[in-house]
Amino acid sequence: MIKEGDKAINFNMPIDEETNITLETYTGKNIVLYFYPKDDTPGCTKEAIDFTAHLEGFTKHDTVIIGVSADSIKQHKKFSDKHSLNVILASDEDKKTCEDYGVWVEKSMYGKKYMGINRATFLIDKDRIVQKIWDKVSVPGHVEDVLENVKKL
């Protein structure tokens, strides 16, 4: 399990039909890597809209926002277009990055167990060190908290 102070684990995920992103894609930038369960669900939509609304503040502090779920590129595009999102959405259909970051976990709903993504956020600095981890994120106020931590880098 990755911890605060650890070197960030590299990833390689598509963001559209032609482009894959890795840590090196954003050399010289801080990265907010946030994992969410599913496109176009209430909490995930609110979180993506909040990150989009605060994008200027993150950009001012040399920080890119990357949202990650197991949804397809096609689904991400539909989600992004529907809600006018300006954050990068990466597709982790094979769940490798989710597993690397420890967010692909057993969940339970109404007594039924299943595997899914734990909503979590990782703040990675320009030196690729994980500065802060938010685990089991509650959406209200989360983006503002992340931005405050970015300002301290």
Give the chain's length: 153
Q: Pick the catalytic residue: 15, 31, 32, 44?
A: 44
Judge whether 98 counts as a catalytic residue: no
Q: Where are the beta strands (DSSP E) in the chain?
A: 13-14, 20-21, 30-35, 63-69, 88-91, 104-109, 112-117, 120-124, 130-134
Cβ(136)–Cβ(43) below 8 Å:
no
Helix then strand then coil, in percent of the chain rounded to 5, is: 30, 30, 40
Cβ(146)–Cβ(65) below 8 Å:
no
Give just the sign of the alpha carbon dihedral 132, 137, 138, 143: positive
Cβ(34)–Cβ(90) below 8 Å:
no
Catalytic residues: 44
